[in-house]
Amino acid sequence: MVTKATSWDDDAELRACVNNAPVGERELEVDGRVVVVRVRESRRARRMRLTVGPGRAPEVVVPARTGRRAVDEFLGANRRWLADKLAVSDRPRVLPERCGAVWLAGQPVPVRHEPAGRARAALSDGHLVVGGAHPDAGAAVERWYRREARERLGRTAELEAPRLGVRFTALSVRDQRTRWGSCSRNGRLSFSWRLVLAPRFVLDYVVVHELCHVREFNHSRAFWRLVESARPEWRDAAGWLREHGHELHDYRPESALGTPAP
Q: For binding to Zn ion (CB under 5 A), which residues are involved? A: 16-17
> Concatenated DSSP letters for 203-241?
HHHHHHHHHHHHH--S--HHHHHHHHHH-TTHHHHHHHH
Nearer of residues 20 and 78 to Zn ion, judged by Cβ: 20
Q: Which amino acid is at 84?
A: D
- For residue 39, give every residue at least 6 positions away whose Cβ sits within 8 Å of its Cβ, in sequence order, or none: 22, 23, 24, 25, 26, 59, 60, 62, 71
- 95 and 106 Cβ atoms separated by less than 8 Å: yes
> In terms of Cα–Cα distance, which of 169, 105, 114, 107 is closest to 137?
114
SS3 32: coil
Nearer of residues 26 and 213 to Zn ion, judged by Cβ: 213
The least distance separating Zn ion from the CB of residue 252, rounded to whole angstroms, comes to 28
The least distance separating Zn ion from the CB of residue 181, rounded to whole angstroms, comes to 8
Q: Would you state the torsion angle of the CA atoms of residues 211, 217, 223, 224, taken in this order, to the nearest 10 degrees?
A: 80
Nearer of residues 113 and 213 to Zn ion, judged by Cβ: 213
The least distance separating Zn ion from the CB of residue 94, rounded to whole angstroms, comes to 24
The least distance separating Zn ion from the CB of residue 16, rounded to whole angstroms, comes to 4
> In terms of Cα–Cα distance, which of 138, 136, 248, 235 is closest to 193?
248
Element (H, E) at 84: helix 79-89
The least distance separating Zn ion from the CB of residue 41, rounded to whole angstroms, comes to 22
The least distance separating Zn ion from the CB of residue 59, rounded to whole angstroms, comes to 20
- 185 and 137 Cβ atoms separated by less than 8 Å: no
The least distance separating Zn ion from the CB of residue 245, rounded to whole angstroms, comes to 15
Nearer of residues 17 and 237 to Zn ion, judged by Cβ: 17
Nearer of residues 48 and 214 to Zn ion, judged by Cβ: 214
SS3 174: strand
- 46 and 61 Cβ atoms separated by less than 8 Å: no
Nearer of residues 66 and 184 to Zn ion, judged by Cβ: 184
Nearer of residues 17 and 256 to Zn ion, judged by Cβ: 17
